[in-house]
């Protein structure tokens, strides 16, 4: 039965690796300026993890094949080098991987999170609430009106709780249900949670960030390819969580200007 286990483990290891090696299930095409570094980090990790996975599984299978079902009273022997060899191997190989991925690989993270958005980045606010995303553009004055939670009234489409009667900044704010942005221009997205925790996830942008109630966060990115992409909520937010989605519409600057004008006229 030992030999059979060895064969089964070998098959499991190879079959498990097959979809990875053939790139059957991979992340979609990257449409951001920062995503390339993330994808590269992922490929490097995959190569090292894949090597370790196959190496360990096949070695396990080989030893089971070789050292099971021996005659009764077969003399046991020990691995030359013993525990010292094993510990040294782990420290050298895994230690160098840890250093390589852990230190050098942080570049990708730093590039996104340790940099400030450019001063001319397009500011858009996004509000997440059970179970919809809304987006707000500051309008011609470039200023967002204040959010007044007590004035939020979905029936009257006042999703952000704006008070245009008393707040000049709020009067030209443009509120939409989809996130339209121009390609090749940096966008600073300000995340505001209306009720409970939510998250903003666009696979193609390689961005996932929580909306935290009471803590307004900001992320910035540049999309490079026009198209329509799904925004989904990835933080468990209640019964409609699975259905909480919106669209990211990446447009050319010209189309974006047109879209903005049209939305402004609809307000």
DSSP state at residue 160 = T
Closest CA to 145 of 124, 160, 123: 160
Residue 61, CA atoms < 13 Å, CB-side half-sphere: 17
Judged by CB under 8 A, does residue 59 bind another protein? yes
Q: Which is nearer to another protein, 124 or 193 (CB)?
A: 193
Q: Which is nearer to another protein, 99 or 140 (CB)?
A: 99
Binders of another protein in range 97-116 (CB under 8 A):
97-98, 101-103, 105-106, 108-109, 112-114
Judged by CB under 8 A, does residue 206 bind another protein? yes
Question: What is the DSSP pairing of strand 174-176 with strand 132-137?
Answer: antiparallel
Judged by CB under 8 A, does residue 33 bind another protein? no
Q: What is the DSSP string of 77-140?
A: ---TTHHHHHHHHIIIIIHHHHHIIIIITHHHHHHHHSSPPPTTPEEEEEEEETTEEEEEE-TT
Query: Contact, 190 vs 216, CB < 8 A?
Result: yes
Taking contact as CB under 8 A, which single stretch among the options 118-126, 172-180, 237-245, 254-262 is the one that binds another protein? 237-245
Judged by CB under 8 A, does residue 96 bind another protein? no
Judged by CB under 8 A, does residue 67 bind another protein? yes
Q: Which residue in the set 167, 172, 186, 210 belongs to the binding site for another protein (CB under 8 A)?
A: 210
Binders of another protein in range 217-236 (CB under 8 A):
217, 230, 232, 234-236
Cβ neighbors of 93 (< 8 A, separation 6 or more) are none
DSSP state at residue 256 = H
Taking contact as CB under 8 A, which single stretch among the options 116-124, 171-179, 208-216, 253-261 is the one that binds another protein? 208-216
Query: Contact, 184 vs 222, CB < 8 A?
Result: yes
Judged by CB under 8 A, does residue 178 bind another protein? no
Judged by CB under 8 A, does residue 241 bind another protein? yes
Cβ neighbors of 196 (< 8 A, separation 6 or more) are 130, 213, 237, 238
Q: Which is nearer to another protein, 43 or 262 (CB)?
A: 43
Q: Which is nearer to another protein, 97 or 172 (CB)?
A: 97
Taking contact as CB under 8 A, which single stretch among the options 88-96, 135-143, 164-172, 258-266 is the one that binds another protein? 88-96
């Amino acid at each position: 039965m030992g030999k059979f286990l060895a064969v089964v483990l070998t098959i499991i290891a190879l079959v498990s690796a097959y979809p990875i090696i053939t790139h059957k299930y991979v992340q979609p095409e990257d449409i951001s300026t920062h995503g390339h570094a993330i994808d590269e980090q992922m490929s490097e990790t995959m190569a090292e993890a894949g090597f370790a996975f196959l190496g360990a599984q096949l070695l396990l299978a080989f030893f089971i094949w070789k050292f099971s079902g021996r005659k009764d009273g077969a003399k046991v022997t020990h691995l030359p080098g013993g525990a010292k060899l094993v510990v040294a191997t782990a420290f050298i190989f895994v230690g160098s991987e840890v250093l390589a991925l852990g230190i050098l690989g942080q570049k990708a993270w730093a590039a996104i999170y340790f940099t400030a958005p450019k001063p001319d980045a397009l500011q858009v606010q996004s509000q997440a609430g059970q179970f919809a995303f809304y987006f707000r553009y500051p309008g011609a004055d470039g200023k967002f009106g204040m959010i007044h939670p007590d004035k939020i009234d979905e029936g009257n489409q006042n999703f952000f709780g704006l008070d245009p009667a008393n707040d000049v900044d709020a009067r030209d704010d443009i509120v939409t249900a989809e996130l339209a942005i121009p390609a090749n221009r940096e966008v600073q997205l300000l995340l505001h949670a209306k009720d409970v925790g939510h998250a903003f996830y666009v696979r193609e942008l390689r961005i996932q960030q929580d909306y935290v109630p009471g803590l307004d966060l900001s992320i910035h990115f540049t999309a490079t390819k026009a198209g329509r992409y799904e925004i989904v909520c990835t933080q468990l937010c209640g019964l409609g969580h699975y259905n909480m989605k919106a669209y990211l519409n990446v447009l050319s600057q010209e189309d974006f200007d047109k879209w903005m004008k049209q939305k402004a006229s609809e307000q």
